[in-house]
Chains A and B, each alone.
Chain A
Amino acid sequence: MQSQLSVKHLLGIKELKKEDIQLIFETADQFKQVLNRPIKKVPSLRDITIANVFFENSTRTRLSFELAEKRLSADVVNFSSSSSSVKKGETLLDTVNNILAMKVDMVVLRHSSVGAAHFLARNVDANIINAGDGTHEHPTQALLDTFSIREKLGEVAGKKVCIFGDILHSRVALSNIFALQKLGAEVMVCGPNTLIPKYLGELGVKIEYDLKKALQWCDVANVLRIQLERQTIKYFPSLREYSLYYGINKELLDSLNKEIVIMHPGPINRGVELSSDVADSHHSIILDQVENGVAVRMAVLYLLAGKQGQ
């Protein structure tokens, strides 16, 4: 059994092997156990400094990374572009090199440009963890989503997972598709055809435009937010109309002749993609996803730091 990751950076799920994902899960199991103790801290990364560099807004991901880092005893510095010299015209590479000059070992990067993390990994010495690059990948989200499915349903292999909503602008969708397929799940996407990229079929993903049919097919529904901030043109007439065709509500779930698991990476737009009675129901594992996020990120940081020492 593999005891080390095959990669030096976590840039995307695409670069990971199935065995890497399994190793992350097995390590995360132990960290989840640590997080349920009275003392939720281990000293593993006490000689490591990590910079959280966020060029885009984030609540969950940044908090989750920061908690994961602190629970591993790492030193943490936070950077957000809104209050920094980026506003004065500094480039990404200069910004990060300046941070690294202060002896930082790992960088958690969120950026609105696709490939920003890959670019950094090629140009700087630290371990890079991609916390979302534009509409490309968000690997730790996919890891925690699949980890949560494994926890809820016992395993990921053979499960039918459908991703609903704004697939076109979603890095969560792409990372999830890679992770689910590597772990042997069947993947479907469902949404208005303007929001489903046409190349998706080539990835071996089923495409469905009918919400009811998709719900009938799947064991797990991973529901995404409509990313209005990334939409430069109109993809559907109105949010109200979107909600009528693609909003999941209690009535709809009750009309299915089976139980399905509801997931959402957050932030939820209540009343748009999910109604409140679904988001807060026993079907939903949304808060378990958040809880697991810390353990999964601890596992990623721990395993990458272990590689760094060699």
Chain B
Amino acid sequence: MSKRSILDNELLQITLDRLCQQLIENHDQFEESVILAIQPRGVIVGERIKSILEKSLKKKVAFGHLDVTFHRDDFRRKEAPLKANATIVPFIIEDKRVILVDDVLYTGRTVRAALDAMIAFGRPKDVELLALVDRKFSRDLPIEAQYVGREVICLDSEHVQVDLHEESKGEDKIWLVTNNDKK
């Protein structure tokens, strides 16, 4: 197994700042906009985005956690973890502009499940997607992100590992991991 860094501490901060600027360009004062972060790791990315936005807008931004476990399309089809995380959506998204946030966009299936899960909270005006890392050319579904931190092109045998300090207690680092050991 070998891994190559694609985003480190400093670059990640620059990337997040840039994503927030893009969000502000489109959503201005966030009056009608809400952020829904996808559990589990989208929430960490979402929290960071939220705090940067709140600092520059000098106001609170509506923020929710969305768990998609019960909406996944691979339930009973593979050994996916069954355990659900909390969904915390303390507002109604009816007629709101929703920004979904996740760490890595890969096949698009998680985002499809998130769109499904989100509908339980109302009919949004529109929905956008922010992905910290976009694995290009690997989509199973017609889903694209409007805000992308970093694009990577990689093989199916490779994967993107996201270590954020909230979880790993170390430095922020995003890796591209190649599985060399052929069994």
Contacts and interface: CB of A to CB of B under 8 A. Distances in A.
Interface of A: 1, 3-4, 23, 26-27, 29-30, 33-34, 37-39, 41-44, 47, 302-303, 305-306, 308-310
Interface in B105-128: 116-117, 119-122
B82 A302 contact: yes
Contacts of B70: 30, 34, 42-44, 302
A34 B77 CA distance: 23
Contacts, number: 58
A27 B67 CA distance: 12
Contacts of A38: 120-122
Contacts of A306: 75-76, 82
Interface stretch (B7-15, B83-91, B153-161): B83-91
Nearest to A308: B76
Interface SS of chain B: helix, strand, loop or mixed?
A: loop
B77 A309 contact: yes
B59 to A, nearest CB: 27
Contact of A39 (B69, B75, B76, B120): B120
B75 A26 contact: no
Contact of A42 (B71, B121, B122): B71
A33 B86 contact: yes
Nearest to B85: A30
Contact of B76 (A29, A30, A33, A309): A309
B75 A44 contact: yes
Contacts of B77: 309
A43, A308, A310, most chain B CB atoms within 10 A: A43
Name the 7 nearest CB pairs between A and B, nearest first: A309-B76, A42-B70, A39-B120, A3-B83, A30-B84, A306-B82, A3-B81
Given A37-B120, A38-B120, A23 B83 contact: yes
Contacts of B121: 37-38
Nearest to B70: A42
Given A4-B82, A27-B82, 15 more contacts: A3-B82, A3-B83, A30-B69, A30-B70, A30-B84, A30-B85, A30-B87, A33-B87, A37-B121, A39-B120, A42-B70, A43-B71, A43-B116, A44-B71, A306-B82
A211 to B, nearest CB: 41
Interface of B: 67, 69-72, 75-79, 81-87, 116-117, 119-122
Contacts of B75: 44, 305-306, 309
Contacts of A34: 70, 87, 120
B137 to A, nearest CB: 29
Contacts of A308: 76
Contact of B83 (A27, A37, A39, A305): A27
A39 B119 contact: yes
Nearest to B87: A33
A305 B70 CA distance: 12
Contact of B82 (A33, A37, A43, A303): A303
Contacts of B87: 30, 33-34
A4 B85 CA distance: 14
A27 B121 CA distance: 20
A30 B120 contact: no
B116 A26 contact: no
Nearest to B117: A42
Nearest to A27: B84
Nearest to B119: A39
B72 to A, nearest CB: 8
Nearest to A2: B83
A37 B91 CA distance: 11
Given A27-B84, A30-B86, A310 B79 contact: yes
A205 B34 CA distance: 53
29 contacts: A3-B82, A4-B82, A26-B83, A27-B83, A30-B67, A30-B69, A30-B70, A30-B87, A33-B86, A34-B120, A37-B121, A38-B120, A38-B122, A39-B120, A42-B70, A43-B71, A43-B116, A44-B71, A44-B75, A47-B76, A302-B82, A303-B82, A305-B75, A305-B76, A306-B76, A306-B82, A308-B76, A309-B76, A310-B76
